[in-house]
Structure 1
Amino acid sequence: MRAGTSIADALRSAHVLDGGMASELEYLGANIDGPLWSAHVLEDAPEKIVAVHRAYIEAGADIIETASYQVSRMGYAEVGLDPALAGAALLRSVSLAREAASAAHGKRVLIAASLGPYGAALHNGAEYHGNYTCTFADLIAFHADRIKILANANGQESPDLLAFETLPSLVEAVAIGQALKPYPELAAWFTFTCVDQEHVAHGEPLRQCAAAVAAFPQTTAVGVNCTHPTLISALIAELRAASDKPIVVYPNSGEGWDAQNRCWTGTGDPASFASQAADWLAAGAQIIGGCCRTRPAHIHQVARLFP
């Protein structure tokens, strides 16, 4: 992995991040119904993952996230798979992103290894409230396992930075900081999922969470993801008050999930998303992309806002 200082410098300029992975894989015909979501596709149809990465790069993204949000030894064991497969899948996700980026015709594309929270490995939506029954030591061990794999990766399997995302709580962020301690040279960003204009999903103030992770030597950016776009401008103000780190935001499309009927509701118009993104850029966000239900069309509209 590249030295964290060089990535930190790179992230202080404006960047376009990619959009949703799992939903885009669905549009390509991939089956993500299983508990591992897009991680299933790493095994079954890796060429579709490369196609999604390339679509986002062509749309204007110069940072892409790997298809590894749901990949962990614990998560694989939870669904009856050999936990040893998780490490190989994690490295494969980086290689696929590198393969896609290699076709960018001289454009520098950064690879961020997507690392979901502990709750994502439980496959029960716990990442959206953070009320886990595990110990603090369990949280450290969970994150340390994946960090070690990526920290020791080389060549095509080595990401530029680690993206700890959809974090619901301060305690999990602090646990990740503990897990990162043996690797001061790594680069990472931390993004939280929020329920209103001030608080993360578990209830702590975003300002407190951002200040805590900004103190880690590995932190290159702080931000918010998997959150309704109408909350983002206010949340950027909270992030700016917490630290001077670059700010990364990648909210959902604006559609809502109807858990009872298992369907999405509302609309996710790319032009409307870009109009809001202009406000986020003006408010101080340096890195802007999309999360659930955003597509290359959304990212193309966002990219048009950047010089």
Structure 2
Amino acid sequence: MSDLISKDLENKKGLVVDGAMATELEKHGVKTDNDLWSATALIENPEAITAVHKSYFQNGADIAITNTYQANVKKFMELGLSEEESKNLIVKAVELAKKARSEYFATLSKTEQSKRPYPLVAGSVGPYGAFLADGSEYRGDYDLTEAQYQAFHRQRMELLDYAGVDLFAFETQPNFNEAKALVDLLTVEFPEQHAWLTFSVKDSETLCDGTSLYEAIHYFDNIEQISAIGVNCTTLENIGDIVKNIRSVTDKKIIVYPNNGDIYDPVTKTWQKNPQADTFSDLVPTWLSAGADLIGGCCRTTPDDIKQISRIVNQ
């Protein structure tokens, strides 16, 4: 498969990634304060997932991220589903995103369709820390072998690939060794696929596990199948410096999708409002100037946030 991100950026100054899934699912009555988080909706309310994807497309998203960040066969089977049922849920997550895309695109006029690239569907591959469901994706304090990391991720990637994602989203990666194992798995077993790689960071220069951001970016700089590299699930205020730091060591496309500014407690799995937080409208112009190519939202962001990003990226 060709590098669809680079192709779509040929005539645009940036692409818009969608926003939070769990936040919007909660508005549809889905309970996400459990080990499955937003993946709960794959079992309880799949129609809500389609509705959320569609709302982001309608507000300017060029890329949808599948609802598979915390979805994996082992966790589903622990809840009593069969292996086949569990596999089908991951395939279903892709199908729901593709359904939303086709339904949305069909509502556009031919002129409107010609003015924007056909939206992409990125298959979310969350870190091993998300499977632990104890906030480890914000610490990276776990240590598996390369073979163990790959054994954990392989089946989900196979199912996402089978279901027809346009690329993988290796997201919220806090652990450098896990990221290396994931990318090795990509290049060896999925040679026709591409991925973006976004890290979970402690600050603007350091991954959560203590690895230098510069070292991590440099390591993946020459991997052709990594279409874009960056960060997600960090504060809005970190992004400007992070983009500058990444641009100093790579010419790859840079992707950033931060949280909306609210404060998360990983123990209670709840959020507190932060009325002092900046807005995307305030900050996106500076991120574009610093070199960001793909911009979206992570935790607590809404279709309105994506609309703000889209308006600036496309003006």
Structure 2-normalised TM-score?
0.89
Query: Which residue in the other structure is 1:297 paired with?
Result: 304
Q: Which residue of 2 aligns with 1:244?
A: 251
Residue 60, structure 1, aligned to residue 65, structure 2:
no
The partner residue of 2:232 within 220, 225, 240 is 225
Structure 2 letter corresponding to 1:140: Q
Q: How does 1:13-92 map to 2 (within 5 A)?
A: 13=12, 14-77=14-77, 79=79, 81-92=81-92
Using the alignment, how far apart are the partners of 1:91 and 1:265 within structure 2? 33
Instruction: Please list, as runs of the form range in 1=range in 2, the aligned pairs for 1:163-178 lying within 5 A after superposition.
Output: 163-178=169-184
What amino acid maps onto 1:135 in structure 2? Answer: T
Structure 1 runs (4+) greater than 6 angstroms displaced: 268-271
> Hey, what does 1:5 align to over in structure 2?
3
- Alignment-mate amino acid for residue 2 of structure 2: G
The corresponding residue for 2:165 is 159
Moved more, 43-52 or 73-82: 73-82
Aligned-partner Cα distance in 2 for 1:191–1:168: 9
Match status 1:189 vs 2:199: no
The Cα shift of 1:62 comes to 1.0
TM-score (norm 1): 0.91
Aligned residue in 2 for 1:95 = 95
Give 1:270 deviation, angstroms: 9.2
Match of 1:110 in 2: 120
**More off after superposition, 6-15 vs 292-301:** 6-15
Q: How many residues align?
A: 301
Where structure 1 has 5 or more consecutive residues not aligned to the other structure, the ranges are none
Q: Secondary structure at the match of 1:38?
A: helix
Once the two structures are TM-superposed, the CA of residue 142 in structure 1 deviates from its matched residue by: 1.2
The reply on whether 1:201 has 2:208 as its aligned counterpart is yes
1:253 touches 1:268 (CA, 8 Å); kept in 2?
A: no
CA contact (8 A) 1:271 1:298 kept: no
Structure 1 range deviating more: 81-90 or 112-121:
81-90
CA distance in 1, matches of 2:169, 2:268: 31
Q: Mark the runs of 5 or more structure 2 residues left unpaired by the alignment.
A: none
The residue type paired with residue 50 of structure 1 is T
Could you say which residue in structure 1 is the equivalent of 2:223? 216
Q: Counterpart amino acid of 2:90?
A: L
Among residues 139, 160, 167, which one is paired with 1:129 in the alignment? 139
**Any idea what the Cα deviations from partners look like across 1:92-144, whole Å, max 9, x if unmatched?**
11110011111223351110111100111111111111111433321011122
CA contact (8 A) 2:16 2:62 kept: yes
Quote the RMSD (CA, aligned, Å).
2.0
Question: 1:269 and 1:253 mapped to 2: Cα distance?
Answer: 11
C-alpha distance 284-92 of structure 1, shift in aligned 2 (>3 A): same
When residues 11 and 37 of structure 1 are mapped into structure 2, their CA distance, relative to the original with a 3 A threshold, is farther
Distance in 2 between residues matched to 1:11 and 1:80, nearest whole Å:
44
